[in-house]
């Protein structure tokens, strides 16, 4: 949920600026993905819209107090807490844990993501190679697992970094396996038949009803 003055990195990946709208649109997207046999991942939990720094390059700090976050930023995630997967935010929430970003914070994960928000699915870290995190890739990986992430994500394809991540990882716990299995069961049960021709016809009809763009 972007706020005034936030870094534009989230951009149109956000579904709006009002929690209720975001939750409604997010639900529609998740339901559509599941109907097509795709697992949705809600992100970046517990919120990225107040970050004034692009977490690809630096570590954002959010000074907003916990009560305001609970009433706004956390609200769409609470509404979607039954979804099977979520991705963490590399953001420090000073009013909750002033020392560690959510990805590496046992307090944020246990008290906020698992507790207050009530998310019970698979929790995957954002890319641990991003500039928001400090230390070696092994340290980042072990820190994310220790904080409560189920899985760690590494995205840039650097072989040495990938090796460090793998060496710091461990077999999935029984709790993680149960969450993964539960998500996969939901995905399989949610798949709906798809009539491509009918969908294309409906899409074309919707486009035909749209007003013509104004010429400059």
Cβ-based neighbour number of residue 182 at 10 Å: 14
Q: How far apart are CA 124 and CA 105, in angstroms?
A: 13
Residue ranges with strand state E in 134-209: 151-153
Continuous segment of H or E residues that includes residue 185 = helix 174-190
User: Is 209 a known active-site residue?
Assistant: no
Distance in Å from the first CA to the final CA of the chain: 31
Beta bridge partners of 153: 127
Reading the block at residue 149, the tokens are 């992430």
In degrees rounded to 5, what are phi and psi of residue 198?
-65, -40
> Which of 126, 127, 150, 154 is labelled catalytic?
126
Of 48, 37, 103, nearest to 76 by C-alpha is 48
For 160, what's the count of Cα atoms within 13 Å in the CB-facing half-sphere? Answer: 1
> Which residues does residue 119 pair with via DSSP β-bridges, in sequence order?
none
Cα 169–chain centre separation: 21
Is position 56 annotated as part of the catalytic site? yes
Active site residues: 56, 126
């Amino acid at each position: 949920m972007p706020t005034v003055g936030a870094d534009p990195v989230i951009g149109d990946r956000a579904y709006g600026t009002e929690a209720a709208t975001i939750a409604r649109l997010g639900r529609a997207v998740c339901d559509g993905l599941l109907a097509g046999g795709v697992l949705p991942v809600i992100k970046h939990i517990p919120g990225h819209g107040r970050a004034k720094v692009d977490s690809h390059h630096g570590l954002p700090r959010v000074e907003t107090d916990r009560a305001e976050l609970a009433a706004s930023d956390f609200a769409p995630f609470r509404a979607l807490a039954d979804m099977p997967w979520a991705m963490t935010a590399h953001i420090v929430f000073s009013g909750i844990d002033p020392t560690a970003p959510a990805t590496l914070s046992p307090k944020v994960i246990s008290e906020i993501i698992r507790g207050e928000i009530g998310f019970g699915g698979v929790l995957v870290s954002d890319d641990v190679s991003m500039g928001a995190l400090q230390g070696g890739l092994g340290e980042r990986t072990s820190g994310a697992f220790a904080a409560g992430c189920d899985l760690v994500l590494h995205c840039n394809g650097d072989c040495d970094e990938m090796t460090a991540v793998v060496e710091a990882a461990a077999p999935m716990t029984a709790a993680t396996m149960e969450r993964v299995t539960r998500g996969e069961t939901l995905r399989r049960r949610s798949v709906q038949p798809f009539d491509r021709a009918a969908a294309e016809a409906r899409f074309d009809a919707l486009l035909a009803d749209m007003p013509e763009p104004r010429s400059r």
